[in-house]
Amino acid sequence: MSLVRVVADYQREGEVSSAGGVYERRFKVEFDAPPASEETVLYAAGVPALFSKHPADPYTRLMRKRATLLESSGSRLHWAVICNYEVKPGTDPDNDYNKPWDLPAEVSFTAARYQRVFEAAYGKLSPFLNNQLQDVMEPVNVAPAPFAAGWRGASRTVKIANTAGILFDPGLGQEELNTVIMIRKSRKADDVSVPELLRFRWTINSVPITVGGIPLEAYQGRMNDIRLTPRRAARNDEGADGERYWDVEYEVEINERKYGHLAEVLSRGFMKTRDLISVPQGPEDVERILDGLNRPTAEPQLLDVEGKITGVRPYWLKFALNIWCDWKTLGLPIDEWGGE
């Protein structure tokens, strides 16, 4: 089988709108023997390549084409190829669409919900204010208008306890929302080591970084997932196969608390560090906490950084349950428009 000829058909259509031009061109393709498949027809020499420019409108590109058998010919030798041109939104018309890795990353935002147990709050309803019950929040971490307590950067410092000052066990539960940044970026196959890239899944950032226009302090970002899909770029004008590349999707969950995704737990218990010990090394360095009557306490007591009783400021322990690392080599976009 060999190609006999490709002829441009004058049955063409076109329209122009505020988004740009949309065109259809048709080509008649003739063979001396039936082709192996429709793909042979679509990529026959003389048929325009995908993403090539329209000859009369350089701002449009060939985005789709399809092959149709001309039934009137009575054989599988005569075909029509319909080529559809349009403007690809948000891109430079002079860009080479055969190189999707040169296009900016796509950034979008969503949210993740999770349940969290709290032992401290931003504020609480004051039961006594001028000797009256008032629906007024105490002025704790007051945020600039129009935001209420809980604005970005605020911290929970009001102990959630009963009227006797005893912490609830378990603490108060509530659903929380974290911002999630979804990033999609194409990368050349030779520039990606899949095993190395996948090692970043479920890690937290170890140094400050800006992702999608949101500045993150250390530990505030967690890489929930990295998904890779193998692709091949469009064939060039000579019909040669395009380069291989990966469509890479990143899912970054943001925790805006000061220590981000580090797990926090209130230091409290029934045992405390002995008075002359600053850093306990073993069971012999701790002792049972007793009340004023020299009896073991019925409730766990708040402990300070040295493991001794504190009645002033509770100490929160922070634990990294995820591996932390520098995300700089990932090339994540620094703004919401995909710029690196």
Give me the pLDDT at residue 239, please: 46
Query: Does the pLDDT at position 250 exceed 80?
Result: yes
What pLDDT digit, counting tens, does each position of 25-39 carry?
999 999 988 888 898
What pLDDT digit, counting tens, does each position of 163-178 carry?
777 778 777 888 889 9
Q: What is the pTM of this model?
A: 0.62
In 104-243, beta strands by DSSP E: 106-118, 120-121, 158-159, 172-188, 203-205, 209-211, 214-216, 221-232
Tally of CB atoms within 10 A around 296: 9
Query: Rounded to an integer, what distance in angstroms lies between the CA atom of residue 204 and that of residue 154?
Result: 21
Q: Average pLDDT, stretch 84-97?
A: 58
Query: Does the pLDDT at position 220 exceed 90?
Result: yes
Query: Rounded to an integer, what distance in angstroms lies between the CA atom of residue 150 and that of residue 113?
Result: 17
Query: Rounded to an integer, what distance in angstroms lies between the CA atom of residue 200 and that of residue 323?
Result: 9
Query: Does the pLDDT at position 93 exceed 50?
Result: no
Query: Rounded to an integer, what distance in angstroms lies between the CA atom of residue 268 and that of residue 278?
Result: 16
Query: Does the pLDDT at position 108 exceed 60?
Result: yes
Supply angle C-alpha 207, 150, 175, rounded to 5. Answer: 90
Q: How remote is the C-alpha of 20 from its chain's centroid? A: 32
* Nearest CA among 222, 215, 228 for reference residue 180: 222
Tally of CB atoms within 10 A around 72: 6
Higher pLDDT residue, 90 or 227? Answer: 227
- Picking from 89-93, 226-230, 267-271, which range would have the lowest pLDDT averaged per residue? 89-93
Query: Rounded to an integer, what distance in angstroms lies between the CA atom of residue 38 and that of residue 268?
Result: 72
The answer to whether 299 and 289 have CB atoms below 8 angstroms apart is no
Amino acid 174 reads: Q
Confidence grade of residue 95 (pLDDT, cut at 50, 70, 90): very low
Give me the pLDDT at residue 9, please: 77
Gyration radius of the chain over CA positions: 32
What pLDDT digit, counting tens, does each position of 120-136 carry?
777 776 665 544 433 33
* Nearest CA among 238, 256, 261 for reference residue 318: 261
In 76-206, beta strands by DSSP E: 78-86, 106-118, 120-121, 158-159, 172-188, 203-205
Cα atoms in the 13 Å half-sphere on the side-chain side of 315:
14
- Token pair of 268 as six digits: 């409290």
- Token pair of 91 as six digits: 């891109």
- Token pair of 139 as six digits: 């002025």
- Picking from 51-65, 120-134, 158-172, 255-269, which range would have the lowest pLDDT averaged per residue? 120-134
Query: Rounded to an integer, what distance in angstroms lies between the CA atom of residue 251 and that of residue 185?
Result: 12
Query: Rounded to an integer, what distance in angstroms lies between the CA atom of residue 67 and that of residue 26?
Result: 10
Per-residue exposure over 93-107, b if at least 16 CB sit within 10 Å of its own CB, e if not: eeeebbbbbebebeb
The DSSP 8-state label assigned to residue 129 in this structure reads B
Per-residue exposure over 239-263, b if at least 16 CB sit within 10 Å of its own CB, e if not: eeebbebbebebbbbbbebebbbbe
Higher pLDDT residue, 314 or 193? Answer: 193
- Token pair of 12 as six digits: 């063409």
Query: Rounded to an integer, what distance in angstroms lies between the CA atom of residue 138 and that of residue 122?
Result: 9
Average confidence score pLDDT of the chain: 81
